[in-house]
Amino acid sequence: MDSNEGKFSVFETVCFIVTIIISKLFFTDISRLVRETGTAAWQSTFISCIVSLFFFYIVLFLMKKFPGQHVYEIYESVLGKPIAVILGLLFFSYAIFYAGTNLREFAEIMKAYSFPFTPLYLTITCVLIVTAIFNYFGIECMVRVSVIFFVPIAIGVVLILALAAPTYDAYLLRPFWGYGMTNTVFTGILRSSAYSEILALTVIIKSLQGFKNFKKAGFLSLALSGIVLMISMMLYIMSFGYTLGQEKLSAFFELSRIIYISRFFQRVESVFLFIWVISSVITVAAAVYIALSTYCKVFRLKNHRPLIYPVEFLVFTVAILPDNVMQLMDINIQITRKYSLFLLYLVPVLVLIISAVFKKKGGSVSGKDA
Amino acid sequence: MFRLFQTVKYFLTYREPADTEGGFELLEGKYEEVENEKKENPTQKANADQSEDTEKSTGAPLKATKRNENRKKENKNQLPAQDELVSSELKANFEKIKQELNMPKNADIVIREFTVGMNLKAFIVFVDGMADKIVINDFILRQLMNTDHFKGYKNEYPLDYVMNHVLSINDIEKAKEYKKIISEILNGVTALFIEGCEEALLIESRGYEKRNIEKPSTESVVMGSQEGFTENLRTNITLIRRIIKNKDLITEILPVGKTSNSNCAIMYLDGVANPELVKEVKSRIKSINIDFVTGDGMIEQFIEDKPFQIIPQVLNTERPDRAASFIMEGQVIIIGEGVPFVNVVPVTFFAMFHAAEDSFLRWPFGTAIRLIRILGLFLATLLPALYVSLILYHQEMIPTDLLVAFATARENVPFPTIIEVLMLEISFELIREAGIRVPGVIGPTLGIIGALILGQAAVAANLVSPVLIIVVAVTGLGNFAIPSYSLATGIRLIRFGLILSGAFLGFYGVAAFLFIAGCFACSIKSFGVPFLSPISPVTKKNPDIIARMPNFKQKMRPDYLNTPNRKRAGDKSRS
């Protein structure tokens, strides 16, 4: 996949990654976490962020050993082609599963809150058309669009949190330790997968123009997303409390719904519909891109464009698989936000260990990229 | 059926990318290479020639393409055929000129035969109406026929004597080839042929009717210059030269249009404009291969990076001061013949929002009017689409009192909202288009009367709701606030897409369409410069994108232009 990889700066990358990570704000993630950890949900996401920072730090060693190489190329150098192909296809499948899950979650929320009479497949198809156009233009275009829309997203998030201020009650954060510290820490570690989007950087590393930028972009994105998610979760609990908070389908939508400034300015949630459409589309488009990129690397294809249609079709299939939103929340979302860390974080760690044991270093296979 | 099968096959099969290059890119440091090329020393050149010779002498059979290239080179080196050159016999030249200029069918070509002072037969050729008759009568014919001017003649080459001692014209040149002579005659130059001379004299005598310099009609300002470009190429070049009195301001004239033989000029500041950019502009203009090109609107379509995009990638201006400011930034301007506009390349989205007046106003006002323009863009693009979305899908957002007002206004309207909006939007566009086409002073009157009467009558007939009249009127105002006419036209088209997507899926549809538009905008490049620079991609910039800081704070040229000289002002530009 040589075409359309482009180049972008640390700032642009941070905007892109942060948009993808914080898109969970608009989904079922917050209320799910409140259900699992009670009032300590914000501590739990903080722990997830720390764990992700730790894993990213380890991944850095791997990327440093193989400078400027796509993560699949590293697997191929270290594990050999057959195992790398299996792993590549596994990551490809996961990216499609992730895209499909996010897409369905988005469509369900849309159906629940704004378009009750619109068929689900129509909402899904619309997003897929936009993501197909995105992927047609390539990752550079995707990142640049996310830079442009990052400002409205940031303003929207800040506005929702600020305008809902009259409903905040700090006492609702009690009991401070939620269901107990062990539960919080354990859930926090497991749910570090919620930040696993950071590993998208290992796929787009060639566009980042150097290891330093990769490192900077990674740490900044994780820190910023962690702060935003933690504050949002804290304010959400302060607004709804943990009992009511675990019942909401979309925490942020509910938060925007209770905004009441005057008789004239109320029910402004539809304005914020823009920001979650934008962040959700970027998330799905990025997942499709990662799937395409990995597939192209595995089968050494230069042109990703003919693959867009079949990959989008696969994403559509995954999106319509769950019978209902509860099944989606209990199976799909649990896999992507809770258990995917075993695949996403632990595989690079294992590869790093193997490369250290067998003393493999970058430059042997794709020396020109190093 | 077969074609359908081919299309499906094309859609479903994998193909390697046809072109992995992203086209021309204005990359940093590229101009250095051009500089090196220029400074290439003679030894290197000799070596290069040698290597070429060695290549030739290898004896390997040449490929067809190589052979064609060689043949082209040979043809280039060949001297023109004898009948393409001026003969020493005057009669032969006379016949050739008559034949070339299709005389006597061509009624406006004038050939005047006479005898020059030293009793040599001669004739002049010019196009009636293109040449200035005073120059021809008083400064060419009178001088040449006056024997007093030939008293010092001592068997010199007649053309040299006439050039040096007889004609008191500022611009004279000798030419041998008919191709050049004919082309110059058609441009208004007078050609002089003298018996026994194997060359002709091309005497500057252009003097056709042209419009005076007037106020720009589409970019008028309250403060600042009131001069606009005219249809005349020379006048336009002069207007810019009058502003930038710099020896490095380069004007290059390039021919465009195979049959119309028009000219266009490119102007840039040497040492400031990126040489790679200049090279690219010239190459794109030279590659235009069509019979007729007039004005920069046509040139624009031939040289744009992506001509099928709705958003323009070339900026048009009819203000010499604005064109000069672009040249000073490092951009290249292209002046065509026949229209009072010039093209500026490369250009970014934000430059299309800037108006000449911004720099003349103090910075707080300059910033404020720019913000108004951005509001104008927002309204022109989104207002009808948001109205449709609100009415059809998101009624809960509308405060109750307002909702009641909307519902009451729409109560008697029989059409669905989308039809109502489209009907009124199309009527508005119709009024606008008709207002432009209607001659003279009736135009604006028709626009106002048409809009008022039509709007009032439509509301009275319960065809549209009064709220919608306000929405469409404000949208129109917003569109007029966009300084770039081409961009405003693009926005008009995008608006219809947004209205339809709003009707289809409410805010969700609008957001999706905006996203697609953003995607296209991000993929556009104007002569290698990303269209949304310096915001996306983020590059170094002067404080002059949306908010405008005072002029003395704008010390650097835009980074995305990669100019060899980035500094505009000294470290201390203000005392």
Chain A contact present for B534, CB below 8 A: no
What confidence tens digit (pLDDT) does each residue in B225-242 have? 888 999 888 899 999 999
Does residue B414 or residue B80 have the better pLDDT?
Answer: B414
Task: Give pLDDT, residue A288.
Answer: 95
Q: What is the mean pLDDT of residues B518-526?
A: 89
Task: Give pLDDT, residue B68.
Answer: 55
Task: Give pLDDT, residue B147.
Answer: 86
Task: Give pLDDT, residue B299.
Answer: 84
Please count the other Cβ atoms lying within 10 Å of the Cβ belonging to residue B294. Answer: 17
Mean pLDDT over the full length of chain B: 82
**Measured distance CA(B109)–CA(B125) in Å, rounded:** 7
Q: How confident is the model at residue B498 (pLDDT cuts 50, 70, 90)?
A: very high
Does residue B81 or residue B518 have the better pLDDT?
Answer: B518
B508·A2 Cβ contact <8 A: no
A144·B509 Cβ contact <8 A: no
Task: Give pLDDT, residue B290.
Answer: 83
What would the two tokens of residue B6 be?
Answer: 């081919």
Task: Give pLDDT, residue A286.
Answer: 94
**Measured distance CA(A322)–CA(A333) in Å, rounded:** 11
Q: Give which of A115, A149, A277, A311 to mutate to test B binding, by max B Cβ within 10 Å.
A: A277
* Shortest CA gap B109–chain A (Å): 56
Chain A contact present for B14, CB below 8 A: yes
Task: Give pLDDT, residue B431.
Answer: 83
Size of interface A-B (CB pairs under 8 A): 119
pLDDT > 70: what percent of chain B?
A: 86
Task: Give pLDDT, residue B38.
Answer: 47
What would the two tokens of residue A110 be?
Answer: 């849309």
Lowest mean pLDDT among A116-120, A146-150, B450-454, B555-559: B450-454
Domain holding A114: CATH number? 1.20.1740.10
Q: Measured between beta carbons, which residues in chain A are less than 8 angstroms from residue B537?
A: 8-9, 12, 144, 147
Chain A contact present for B508, CB below 8 A: yes
Residue B36 buriedness (CB in 10 A; 0-12 / 13-18 / 19+): exposed
DSSP letters along B350-370, please?
GGGG--THHHHS-HHHHHHHH
**Measured distance CA(B340)–CA(B378) in Å, rounded:** 29
Chain B contact present for A266, CB below 8 A: yes
Q: How confident is the model at residue B377 (pLDDT cuts 50, 70, 90)?
A: very high
ipTM over the 0.95 cut-off: no
Q: 3-class DSSP state for residue A118?
A: coil
Task: Give pLDDT, residue A184.
Answer: 92
Task: Give pLDDT, residue B123.
Answer: 93
Q: How far is CA B320 from CA A158, B121, B238, B242, B508, in A?
A: 45, 47, 10, 9, 44
Chain B contact present for A167, CB below 8 A: no
Task: Give pLDDT, residue A294.
Answer: 93
Q: Looking at the predicted structure, is the pLDDT value of residue B450 above 80?
A: no
Closest CB to B397 among A126, A133, A267? A267
* Shortest CA gap B382–chain A (Å): 13
A266·B505 Cβ contact <8 A: no
Chain A contact present for B506, CB below 8 A: yes
B537·A268 Cβ contact <8 A: no
Q: Looking at the predicted structure, is the pLDDT value of residue B343 above 50?
A: yes
Which of B36-40, B266-270, B286-290, B541-545 has the highest average model confidence (pLDDT)? B266-270
Residue A369 belongs to some domain of the structure? no
Q: What is the mean pLDDT of residues B402-420?
A: 86
Chain B contact present for A268, CB below 8 A: yes
Q: Which residues of chain A have pLDDT under 50?
A: 3, 364-370
Chain B contact present for A278, CB below 8 A: yes
What confidence tens digit (pLDDT) does each residue in B85-140 have? 898 899 999 999 998 888 888 888 999 999 988 788 999 999 988 888 889 998 89
What confidence tens digit (pLDDT) does each residue in B142-181 have? 989 988 888 888 878 888 899 888 988 888 999 999 988 9
Hey, what amino acid is at B473? A
Q: Which domain holds residue A160?
A: 9-357
Q: What is the mean pLDDT of residues B40-58?
A: 43
Q: How far is CA A310 from CA A217, A236, A295, B186, B255, in A?
A: 31, 39, 12, 60, 49
Task: Give pLDDT, residue B42.
Answer: 44
Q: Measured between beta carbons, which residues in chain B are less than 8 angstroms from residue A277?
A: 507-508, 511-512, 515
What confidence tens digit (pLDDT) does each residue in B420-436 have? 899 888 988 888 888 77
Q: Give which of B9, B20, B519, B560 to mutate to test A binding, by max A Cβ within 10 Å.
A: B519
**Measured distance CA(A285)–CA(A40) in Å, rounded:** 32
B508·A114 Cβ contact <8 A: yes
Closest CB to A148 among B20, B508, B518? B518
**Measured distance CA(A313)–CA(B185) in Å, rounded:** 65
- Chain B residue with CA closest to A301: the answer is B16
Q: What is the mean pLDDT of residues B245-272?
A: 87
Task: Give pLDDT, residue B12.
Answer: 67
Closest CB to A9 among B507, B522, B537? B537
* Shortest CA gap B564–chain A (Å): 22
Chain B contact present for A3, CB below 8 A: yes
Task: Give pLDDT, residue B548.
Answer: 79
Q: 3-class DSSP state for residue B116?
A: strand
- Chain A residue with CA closest to B22: the answer is A4
**Can you state the percent helix, strand and coil of chain A, rounding each to 5?**
80, 0, 20
**Measured distance CA(B75)–CA(A63) in Å, rounded:** 57
Number of domains in chain A: 1
Does residue B554 or residue B376 have the better pLDDT?
Answer: B376
Q: Looking at the predicted structure, is the pLDDT value of residue B62 above 60?
A: no
Residue A362 belongs to some domain of the structure? no
Task: Give pLDDT, residue B382.
Answer: 93
Closest CB to B519 among A115, A133, A271? A133
Of the candidates A358, A353, A352, A356, the one whose C-alpha atom is nearest the C-alpha of residue A74 is: A352
DSSP letters along A196-222, please?
GGGGHHHHSGGGG-SHHHHHHHHHHHH
